[in-house]
Chain A
Amino acid sequence: MNYLDELESEAVYVLREVYAQFDNPVILFSGGKDSIVVTHLAKKAFYPSRIPFPLLHIDTGHNFPETIAFRNDLASGLGCKLLVGSVQESIDKGRVVEEQGKLATRNALQTTTLLDTLEELRIDCAIGGGRRDEEKARAKERFFSHRDDFGQWDPKNQRPELWNVFNGRHFEGEHFRVFPISNWTEMDVWNYIKRENIAIPSLYYAHEREVVWRNGSWIPNSEYLVLDGNERIERKKVRFRTLGDITITGGILSEADTLEKIVDEVSVMKETERGNRADDKRSETAMEDRKRQGYF
């Protein structure tokens, strides 16, 4: 086995443990490459059976249209049930209040929608594509990560995780987040996508689009974008390293329009992939603070 096979075997092992230990697990599906890889691994883990988990998308309403089309095609191709939790609905119901101003995003609002959806559907395990190399608070995350009945993560009181023994026991109302690709890096994900020839949204490939330069990255033009006086829309060849809410996901200038070129580009990249995410720039512990409350 080479290192990619080892990572693959480990992830498959974890997914099978989820199936055996939980009653009602889902795959948190964002349309981004990490959740696509997790879905691909789930397909392999249970072959020739179907993936035994529905896909759950927490929809901010501020999506790249390409992501939604991709999501629908993938779910129907796999024969997976698709569940959607809508942030717009949470706003309409008054569960959350929309942020105001130029830098407003629906990113933080997702937490409430996610927790409400998990509770409503009695989901006891949400499988995510989080990786420990993404962010410093994630470096201490377990494969099987416990959430109390408020959906909160207590980083100082995590269950010890030894060898390959995973403890998913929980009480009514609590749930787990499980991260099968914890040990993968961005480079590993790209190398795996290339090796397995996994389909990903076109947004990851270099393409021309209207963008505006803001906070050090190219934010796509969309109906939700509010321009500042001195900002102007330009046409650039860009691609996205991560996919999130369209209002905060910045692109990079790139000519990489094939998987080979993307892998080459990522391997000489000088900035972290989340460096283009405005949600992580709010403070040094922005991710930890959101995770404690129940964020992905």
Chain B
Amino acid sequence: MEISNNKLLRFTTAGSVDDGKSTLIGRLLYDSKSIFEDQIEQVEKTSKRKGHEGVDLALFTDGLRDEREQGITIDVAYRYFTTPNRKFIIADTPGHIQYTRNMVTGASTANAAIVLVDARHGMVEQTKRHIFIAHLLGIPHILICINKMDLVDYSEDRFYEVAAEIKQFITAIGIESGQFIPISALEGDNVVNKTKAMPWYTGDPLLSVLEHIEPDTVDHDLGLRFPVQTALRPQSGTFRDFRGYAGRVEGNEIHVGDEVMVLPGGQLSTISAIDKMGTSVSTAGIGESVVVCIADDIDVARGNMLVSKHNAPRVGNAVRALFCWMDEQPMRPNTKYIVRQCSDEALGIIKGIGYRLDINTLEKLEGAQTVAMNDIFEAEIRFNKPVFTDPYKRNRVTGSFVLIDPGTNRTVAAAMVQ
């Protein structure tokens, strides 16, 4: 099967226990014929055993034993489906406040977010939280699905009432565009197929909106950013003198002949060759894994970054960032955590928490001394060596990093540079 729209779309779904998120995903998979017959049979059997009427669509998405038993989603699960127009990757995340970190994880790679709202209840605290996290993680497209329209008699008035309330909120936090779709995941209205039950809605059903979204909203002057993963030196045969740097293009398109500056040293050189997995090419665009050779004999290693001289990242021993604490052990003050940013590693100490965010009211609480799992806070972090960063708003790769606890090796925090 050929897929006509060639770019894949990664989207995240956030929702609380009862707003029909699993049903929606089940519906997308089921109606787009992405579920195999043996999977349907298995879910039919389980539905019957649990005494549900018909097929419980939500069961398609519950993975681990505990989740199936409790009927909730506790971790990020990834789902895949394909239509003739596009390949999709869904990061399915739980909506509860104690799973904020999972929402953040799912949102970190998404190009679109689906936020589900129960038409009967309108905007609730969870709705705000989901929209806020999607915005915080820089997801370019936010789609608000007002679900369970069947339970409010497919009322146009109710839809616009809920939409207006949410619109006010998203404008207030600085989101420029949000799209609203009235759906019923249970009945299948406006999910894959356009419904006859809401003739007043003139827009497209959810799936066709997803099929036509432009995944990246690339700021075209990101500058050249090429974090070096590893140096390749085959030292044999025809490649005896070959020395290339493997990495992925994380900024502007690169070309043979481009001038580059090597960080941290600041030496200048030019790109002499680009090799794309065995093929010599003259350019490579954002997201492409390639090998870059430079004209001068400069010692370049993992953790270094090739950048443009006139549009370089910030190089500094401290940044202010928004953090999400992810570990069960609360943050320990004055602890040196391992910072992993692109291919580089440093040590970092969090100094001076600016504020902690109340994720329900979105109030900035100043004077916080401690932070624990699922807390989102703003703070300064000081590094033991210069680190090369961009503001997260400009570049989600060079603007993000994680903290690792050297005592446990666990990833304890995610950070977005301000």
Contact = CB atoms under 8 A, between A and B. Distances in A.
A121 interface: no
A16 B77 contact: no
A275 B35 CA distance: 13
A48 B242 contact: yes
A111 B296 CA distance: 49
15 contacts: A2-B7, A3-B86, A16-B229, A45-B277, A47-B291, A48-B278, A136-B63, A140-B64, A160-B411, A162-B109, A162-B414, A169-B338, A187-B1, A271-B38, A284-B68
A185 B83 CA distance: 13
Contacts of B285: 1
Interface in A112-164: 132-133, 136-137, 139-140, 155-156, 158-164
A271 B36 contact: yes
Given A160-B411, A167-B404, A139 B78 contact: yes
A183 B397 contact: no
Contact of B288 (A1, A44, A49, A133): A1
Contacts of B37: 270-271
A167 B46 contact: no
Contacts of A263: 1
Given A49-B232, A140-B63, A185-B82, A155 B38 contact: no
A102 to B, nearest CB: 22
Contact of B82 (A161, A164, A187): A187
Interface string A240-266: 000000000000000000000001000
Interface in B259-310: 275, 277-278, 285, 287-289, 291, 302
Contacts of B275: 47-48
Contact of B402 (A167, A171, A182, A288): A167
Interface stretch (B100-108, B144-152, B352-360): B100-108
B71 interface: no
Given A156-B74, A185-B80, A20 B229 contact: yes
A107 B202 CA distance: 55
Nearest to B36: A272
Nearest to B42: A284
B410 interface: yes
Contacts, number: 169
A16 B109 contact: no
Interface string B58-75: 000011111010000011
Contacts of A136: 62-64
Interface in A10-30: 10, 12-13, 16-17, 19-20
A20 B302 contact: yes
B342 to A, nearest CB: 8
Contacts of A267: 1
B6 interface: yes
A40 B76 CA distance: 29
A106 to B, nearest CB: 24
A169 B409 contact: yes
A125 B215 CA distance: 33
B409 A165 contact: no
A140 B242 contact: no
A161 B302 CA distance: 21
A174 to B, nearest CB: 8
Given A5-B288, A45-B277, A285 B65 contact: yes
The secondary structure that dominates the B interface is: mixed
Interface in B1-24: 1, 3, 6-8
Given A167-B409, A169-B338, A156 B66 contact: yes
Contacts of B128: none
Contacts of B302: 20
A188 interface: yes
A19 B230 contact: yes
A163 B234 contact: no
B400 A163 contact: yes
Contacts of A187: 1, 82
Interface string A255-296: 000000001000101111001000000001100110000000
A213 interface: no
A95 interface: no
B411 A167 contact: yes
Nearest to B90: A139
A271 B37 CA distance: 5
B405 to A, nearest CB: 9
Nearest to B237: A48
Nearest to B302: A20
Nearest to A184: B80
A47 B278 contact: yes
Contacts of A139: 63, 77-79
A132 to B, nearest CB: 5
B246 interface: yes
A1 B7 contact: yes
Contact of B287 (A1, A132, A162, A289): A1
A288 B65 contact: yes
A9 interface: yes
B343 interface: yes
A75 B377 CA distance: 51
Residue from A171, A267, A272 having most chain B Cβ neighbours under 10 A: A272
Contact of B77 (A46, A140, A183): A140
